[in-house]
């Protein structure tokens, strides 16, 4: 007779071990893998960390200078005192009205300067005769300081917004005009001749050839003009007396209220930083196809 097969007797803990192994495998599968950051993200985080460290170092140095008596605290208040005053100013409705007045003058002047500079730069850049005829005039007018026009602006419009706009437009105009002029002149000669050989009209050549070539120059000029326009808007308020942050700085200085002076100066710096970041983001989005902004970080 065949011998009966011996049954394998498993230890009581065998089934328990299998259950534990399955639970362990399921738990390991549920745990997400560690996130690997791309080199670009690491560069951005590194730049952000360095920026924060720089700001903290600046604030600590600012706090120590008057505290240790290295500068007169009556004219150079501590960082904590200035920031406390800034918080108090931000709770005042008149402060935000002055910010709005400054940004209004900035925006109107920037729009006028951009439109004029884009149109004139394109027309003069497309016509070699006009470019040669206006070269000397442009090189004569461009170096004139905008502040030197303040007496003329006050004489023409008094202490009104129009006087400030003259200063803002004159300073911002050249930033865009020169860039557009170079952008229009940078059109590839082979591409231009090819477009002519295919019988494209002048309007079609401008839309499909000139504008794409000049757009990076235009965006760079617009970003530079935005910063210059803000500087001149505040300068005009300080010297002409238009309502805004610049005039409030002068009033605080005349009253000897130095914490307010430094608090408002911080506000102007923050506005400049915000404007630069906004226009950098616009430039990146509008020129995403261009090699000049590929891989570039906004910060």
pLDDT digits (tens, 9 = 90+) for 24-56: 555 555 555 555 667 777 777 888 888 889 899
Supply the pTM of this predicted model: 0.79
Q: Identify the residue with better confidence: 213 or 177.
A: 177
Measured CA distances, 140 to 84, 107, 134, 171, 174 (Å) = 47, 27, 10, 14, 12
Q: Identify the residue with better confidence: 243 or 12.
A: 243
157-189 per-position pLDDT tens digit: 988 899 999 999 999 999 999 999 988 888 777
Provide the percentage of residues in the chain whose pLDDT is more than 90.
Answer: 53
* Residue 110 pLDDT grade (very low, low, confident, very high; cuts 50, 70, 90): very high
Q: Report the pLDDT averaged over residues 243-252.
A: 95
Tokens read off for 155: 């004489």
Q: Report the pLDDT averaged over residues 209-229.
A: 89
> What pLDDT shows up at residue 95?
95
Q: Identify the residue with better confidence: 211 or 144.
A: 144
* Residue 14 pLDDT grade (very low, low, confident, very high; cuts 50, 70, 90): very low
Tokens read off for 75: 């004219």
| Domains assigned to the chain | 40-53+74-286 (1.10.3720.10)
Cα three-residue angle 283-285-272, rounded to 5 degrees: 40
Q: Which residues contact 266 (CB under 8 A, 6 or more apart)?
A: 82, 86
* Residue 13 pLDDT grade (very low, low, confident, very high; cuts 50, 70, 90): very low
253-284 per-position pLDDT tens digit: 999 999 999 999 999 999 999 999 999 999 88
Cα three-residue angle 267-271-296, rounded to 5 degrees: 135
> What pLDDT shows up at residue 42?
79
* Residue 8 pLDDT grade (very low, low, confident, very high; cuts 50, 70, 90): very low
Measured CA distances, 101 to 98, 104, 273, 285, 286 (Å) = 5, 5, 18, 29, 29
116-163 per-position pLDDT tens digit: 999 999 999 888 899 999 999 999 999 999 999 999 999 999 888 999
Q: What is the 3-state secondary structure (H, E, C) of the chain?
A: CCCCCCCCCCCCHHHHHHHHHHHHHHHHHHCCCCCCCCHHHHHHHHHHHHHHHHHHHHHHHHHHHHHCCCCCCCCCCCHHHHHHHHHHHHCCHHHHHHHHHHHHHHHHHHHHHHHHHHHHHHHHHHCHHHHHHHHHHHHHHCCCCHHHHHHHHHHHHCCCHHHHHHHHHHHHHHHHHHHHHHHHHCCCHHHHHHHHHCCCCHHHHHHHHHHHHHHHHHHHHHHHHHHHHHHHHHHHHHHCCCCCHHHHHHHHHHCCCHHHHHHHHHHHHHHHHHHHHHHHHHHHHHCCCCCCCCCCCCC
Is residue 12 predicted with pLDDT exceeding 60?
no
Across the chain, what does the average pLDDT equal?
Answer: 84
Residue carrying the six token digits 């920026």? 51
């Amino acid at each position: 007779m065949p011998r009966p097969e011996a049954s394998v007797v498993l230890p009581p803990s065998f089934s328990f071990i299998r259950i534990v192994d399955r639970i362990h495998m399921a738990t390991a599968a549920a745990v997400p893998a560690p996130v690997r950051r791309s080199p670009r993200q690491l560069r951005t985080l590194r730049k952000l960390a360095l920026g924060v460290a720089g700001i903290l170092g600046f604030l600590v140095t600012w706090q120590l200078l008057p505290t240790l008596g290295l500068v007169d605290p009556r004219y150079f208040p501590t960082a904590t005192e200035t920031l406390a005053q800034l918080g108090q100013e931000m709770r005042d409705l008149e402060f935000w009205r002055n910010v709005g007045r400054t940004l209004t003058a900035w925006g109107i002047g920037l729009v006028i300067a951009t439109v004029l500079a884009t149109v004139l730069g394109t027309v003069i850049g497309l016509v070699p005769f006009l470019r040669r005829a206006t070269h000397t005039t442009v090189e004569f007018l461009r170096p004139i300081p905008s502040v030197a026009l303040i007496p003329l602006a006050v004489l023409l419009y008094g202490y009104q917004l129009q006087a400030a706009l003259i200063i803002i437009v004159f300073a911002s105009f050249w930033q865009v005009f020169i860039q557009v002029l170079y952008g229009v002149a940078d059109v590839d000669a082979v591409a231009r001749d090819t477009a002519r050989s295919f019988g494209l009209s002048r309007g079609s050549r401008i839309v499909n050839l000139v504008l794409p070539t000049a757009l990076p120059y235009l965006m760079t000029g617009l970003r530079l003009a935005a910063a210059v326009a803000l500087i001149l808007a505040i300068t005009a308020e300080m010297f002409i007396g238009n309502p805004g942050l610049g005039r409030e700085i002068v009033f605080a200085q005349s009253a000897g209220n130095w914490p307010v002076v430094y608090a408002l100066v911080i506000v102007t710096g923050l506005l400049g930083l915000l404007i630069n970041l906004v226009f950098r983001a616009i430039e990146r989005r509008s020129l995403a196809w261009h090699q000049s902004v590929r891989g570039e970080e906004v910060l």
